[in-house]
Amino acid sequence: MRLWVLAVVAALTAGCASAAQVPQRPQLSLAPPQPPGMVAPSDIKGARDPRECPDGKGPFVPERSSLRPSGPLPPPGTRFTTGALSTITQRGKVIVGVDQNLSKFGSVNPLTGELEGFDVDIAREIAKALFGDENAVEFVVVDFSDNFDKLAAREVDLLADSITITCERRYTRQVMFSTDYFFSGQRVMVPKSSPVKGIEDLRGKRVCAPNGTTSIGRIMDPALGLVPVAVREFSDCLVLLQQGQIDAISSTDSVLLGLVEQDPTTHLVGPRFSEEHHGLAMREGDEDLVRYVNAVLEQLRADGTWSRLYGKWLVDLEPVLPSPPPALYVD
Amino acid sequence: MVVMETPTRADVVARVRKAARSPLEQLRGLLVGLVGLCLVTGVVGAVEIADRRTVLTEVTQQSIPLASAALEVYQSLSDADATANSVFLAGERASAEQRTRYLADIERAAVALSTAAAGTSDATARTVAELTAQLARYSGLVETAHTHNRQGLSVGAAYLRQASALAQETLLPAAHRLYRDEVNRLVAVQRDAGSVAWLAVVVGVLTLGALVAAQLYLRATTRRTFNRGLLVTTGALLPAVVWLAVASAVAAGHTDAGRDGVARTEALATARITALTARSSEALALVARSDAGPYEEAFRKASTTLDGDANMPGSLAAAVAKVGDHPEAKEAADAAIGAWRQWRELHDRNRADLAAADTARSSALADEVDQRLAEAFGHAQRRFEDESVRAVDALDAADVGVALLALLGALAVGFGLAPRIREYR
C-alpha cells in the first residue's frame, strides 16, 4: 500500500517538475545610436567640385555665374505684374527655405524656439526690400537631403541654406545662384585631444559631413583615403564626434565655426583646402527674381548691412572683418 | 544438471484457464483490477487538473501582467518621445508639468520593464534586456539634449533627434514585439488549458462501470447482497468523477470568456498604439517644421488606420465592435472616437495655417483620445482578469480532492474484498 502512495505522489510531482537549468543572461551587443537619416556607406553621395561641370556644360566660374540686376532696386511695396516676382508680391510674403540645424546660418534657438542666423537675416532683408517689412517672410525648413527638391516643387521661392555655388548644381538641379554672398573654405574639426593636425593625418579615419554636400564630396576623394560618414544635418556630425563614433568633421570653416563654438573641447586644424563661393539658389526659370535678389545683395554690400550681419554672426571666422565678396555677372 | 522441460503453449493456456476458474484467483484478480482502476482514475484526474491549474495560474500570475507590462512599456515610451519633443518645441516656455510628465513616463517604462523582466520567458528575455539597456541610453540622450538646450546650444536638437530615432526605430518596435509575443503566448496557453478533462472523466466512468459489474458478480457468487467496501468505493469515486467533469468544464467556460477578453483588450491596445503613433508623429512634424515630411505621412497612415472599418486591426471601429457587450468600455471607446474626430479636424486646420496652429488644443485632444482608450482598456482588462481568476478558482483543490477520493476508493476495495479472500484460506 505504501508503495502505491509513493507511486501516486511520484506521478503527481512528475507533472510539475521541469528540466532543471540555470538561466543564462542574454548576451547583447547593441549598435551605437544613430542620428535619423544616417546614410549607408554605399549610398553616400557628394556634390562635385564647384568648377566641375556635367558633360557638354561649362566652362563655369562659380563667383561669376549670376545675372545682372535689371536696374536700380524698385521701392518696397512695388507690385510686379510678371514673372516670379508677381506671384510673390501678390502673395504678400516671400517663402524662403532655410536650415534649422546650421548654427550661425539657420538654427532654432532652443531658448526662444525662433529661427536665427546669417541666412535667416539675409532672407529678412529680401522681405524688407520687397514689402518694407522684414517679417513678410515665411520660413520653410530644409536640409541638404531635400532643399533642391523643395525648390523644384515650388514649396519655396528661394533657398538660403549656405549653399556652395557649383556647376553641377547649376545644371543638374536647374537652379540659378545669386552672386557670391559669403566666401569660405573647407577645413577639419577634431577634438583638442586628437593628434590630428590636418586632413593628411586622417587617412583611414572616420570623417563626417552631411550627405549631398561639397564637403562630403571631398571627403570621398579616394586620394585622401578617408572613411566618409554621411548624415542629414551638420549638428548630427557634432553628436557623433562627442560620442566618439567619428574622428573628425570636415566642412567649410563657416559651418565648423558654429559647431566649435558649441563644444570647447574641439578646434579647427590645418589650412583651408577649398574655395567655396556661396549663393542663394532660385529656379533657373525665375530670372526676374535672380536679378532682383542680386540688386538687394548689391544694396546690402553698399549700405553696410552685409558687414553688420557678417559681424553679428561670423565675426570669429577670420581675424579681420572681410569686405563683401564682389558682385560679378555673366551677362 | 537437470534439464527443465519447456511447457508448451497449450499447457500454459490451460493452467491459466484453470486458475482463473478458481474462485480465489478470481477474487484476487478483482482486487488488483479494481484497486488499479481507482488509482489510475486518481492519478489521471489529479494530473489533468493540476496541469490545467498550473497553466491557468501562469496565465493570471504571469501572462496577463506581462502582456499589460509590455503594453505599458510601449505606451509610456511613445508618450515620453512625444513629450520630450514638445518640451523642445516650447523652448524656455515649456512648463514644468511637461518636464514632469516626461520623467513620469520614463519611470513607468522602467517599472513595467522590471515586471516584464521578473516573469519573462527565455524567448522574450532578450527583448526585455535590450529594452532595458536602450531605455538607459534613451534617457541619457534626452538629458544631454536638455542640458544643451538650456545653454542655448543648437546641438541639443541633434541629440533629441538621435533620441527620438532610437525610440521610434528601436525601442517602440521592440516593445511592440514584446507585447505581441506575450499575447500570442497567452492565447496559446489558454487554448491548451481551456478544455474539459475528458480523458480523466472517461477513465473515471469506466472505473465506476467496473465497480458496478464487480458488485453484481459478488452478489451472484456470494450470499451477501451488498459489499460494504465496494459501496464506499462507489460512493467515493462518483463525486470524484462529477467533480472532475464540473470543475474542468467551468474552468473551460471562464477560459473561453477570457479568450474573448484577450481579443477585446488587444483590439483596444492596438487602437491605442495607433493613436499614440499619430500623436508622436504630429509632435515630431512640428519639431521638424516640415508639413510634407515623413512625420506627416506617418500621421496620415495612423489616421487612415484609426478611421478604418471593424475588420481593420488598430481601427477605433474594431475596438468598439469588440467591446460592444461591455457598456462601460463601449462608452469610453465612443468618447475616444468623438475626441479623435475633433483632433483630426483640428490637425487639418492647423496644417492649413501653420502660423495660427493651435498645437496646445491638438495635444490636449490627443491626450483625451489616449485617456479614453486607456479607460476602455482598463474595463476590458479587469473583466478579462476576473474571468481568468475564476477559471483558476474553479479548479481549486480539485486535484488533491480527486486524488484523495480515488485513494479512499482503492483502500475500500481492499477492505471490501480482503475478508472474502480470507474465507478461502
Rounded-to-integer distance, Cα A236 and Cα B158, Å: 5
Report pLDDT for B418.
86
Q: Are B269 and B380 contacting, i.e. CB atoms less than 8 angstroms apart?
A: no
Average pLDDT, chain B: 85
CA B199, B34, B247: angle at the middle one, nearest 5? 35
Say how far apart CA A274 and CA A217 lie, in whole Å.
12
Mean pLDDT of B323-345: 89
> Which amino acid is present at B208?
L
Q: What is the value of pTM for the model shown?
A: 0.80
A14 pLDDT exceeds 70? no
Among the partner residues A7, A112, A262, nearest to B153 by beta-carbon distance? A262
State the sign of the Cα–Cα–Cα–Cα dihedral B370, B371, B373, B378.
positive
What phi and psi, each to the nearest 5 degrees, are found at residue B115? -60, -45
pLDDT at A164 over 60: yes
**What per-residue confidence (pLDDT) applies to B256?**
80
Give residues with Cβ within 8 angstroms of B298, minimum separation 6. B277, B278, B281
Band (pLDDT 50/70/90 cuts) for residue B267 is: confident
Spatial CB neighbours of B152, under 8 Å, sequence gap ≥ 6:
A109, A110, A111
Q: How confident is the model at residue B404 (pLDDT cuts 50, 70, 90)?
A: very high
Please name the residues in contact with B162: beta carbons below 8 A apart, sequence gap of 6 or more: A33, A34, A35, A36, A236, A239, B141
- Over the stretch B356-372, which tens digit does the pLDDT of each residue have? 778 788 888 988 999 99
Nearest to B402 by CA among B192, B194, B200: B200
In total, chain A counts a number of residues equal to: 331
CA A100 → CA B63, B142, B155, distances in Å? 46, 19, 11
Mutate to test the interface with B, among A5, A6, A12 (most CBs of B within 10 A): A12
- DSSP letter, residue B208: H
Question: Coil, strand, or helix at residue A226?
Answer: coil
Find, among B126, B138, B128, the residue nearest to A33 by Cα.
Answer: B138
Q: Which residues pair with B376 in a beta bridge?
A: none
- Between CA A110 and CA A119, with CA A116 as vertex, the angle to 5 degrees is 145
B148 contacts on A by Cβ (under 8 Å) = 110, 262
Q: Pick the residue of B31, B124, B154, B415 with the most A CBs within 10 A to test the interface with A by mutation.
A: B154
Cα distances (angstroms) measured from residue A187 to each of A190, A203, A252, B166: 10, 15, 6, 31
A112 has pLDDT over 70? yes
Residue with the larger pLDDT of the pair B395 and B17:
B395
3-state secondary structure labels for all residues of B129-164: HHHHHHHHHHHHHHHHHHHHHHCCCCHHHHHHHHHH
Retrieve residue B124's grid coordinates.
522574450
Residue B301 pLDDT level (bands cut at 50, 70, 90): very high
Treating both helix axes as pointing N-terminal to C-terminal, what angle do B198-221 and B228-288 enclose, rounded to 10 degrees?
180
Look at strands A158-164 and A206-210 and give their pairing: unpaired
For position A1, what pLDDT does the model report? 46
Helix (H), strand (E) at residue A298:
helix A287-302
Shortest CB distance from B129 goes to which of A28, A36, A107? A28
In this prediction, residue B425 has a pLDDT band, given cuts at 50, 70 and 90, of low
Nearest in space to A26 (alpha carbons), one of B192, B278, B132, B421: B132
- The enclosing H or E element of B274 equals helix B228-288
> Exposure string (b/e) for B161-193, b if CB count within 10 Å is 16 or more?
bbbbbbbbebbbebbbbbbebbbebbeebbeeb
The answer to which of A6-15, A198-207, B264-273 has the lowest mean pLDDT is A6-15
Instruction: Choose between A173 and B89: higher pLDDT.
Output: A173
CB contact under 8 A, A12 and B39: no
Distance CA(B410)–CA(B233), nearest Å, equals: 7
A30 to B407: CB separation less than 8 angstroms, yes or no: no
pLDDT of residue B1: 47
Q: Please report, for residues A18, A210, B80, B104, the alpha-carbon distance to residue A32 in angstroms, rounded to integers and kept in the order given.
A: 39, 19, 21, 26
Q: Do strands A175-177 and A101-102 pair parallel, antiparallel, or not at all (unpaired)? A: unpaired
Residues of chain B in contact with residue A33, where contact means CB-CB under 8 angstroms, are: 137, 141, 162-163, 165-166
Cα gap A177→A165, rounded to integer Å: 7
Q: Are A104 and A258 in contact (CB under 8 A)?
A: yes
CB within 8 Å: A141 and B166: no
* pLDDT-wise least confident of A123-127, A292-296, B227-231: B227-231
Does pLDDT of A17 surpass 60? no
Q: Indicate whether B291 pLDDT > 90.
A: no
Report the residue from A26, A111, A139 with minimal CB separation from B126. A26
Backbone angles phi, psi at A264, to 5 degrees: -65, -5
What pLDDT shows up at residue B28? Answer: 86
Residue B125: list chain A partners with CB under 8 A: 23, 26
**How many other C-beta atoms lie within 10 A of the C-beta of residue A268?**
17
Q: Cβ of A108 and B50 within 8 Å?
A: no
Q: Choose the weakest-confidence range: A10-24, A142-156, A255-269, B205-219.
A: A10-24
Determine phi and psi for B187, rounding to 5 degrees. Answer: -65, -45
User: To the nearest whole number, what is the mean pLDDT of chain A?
Assistant: 90
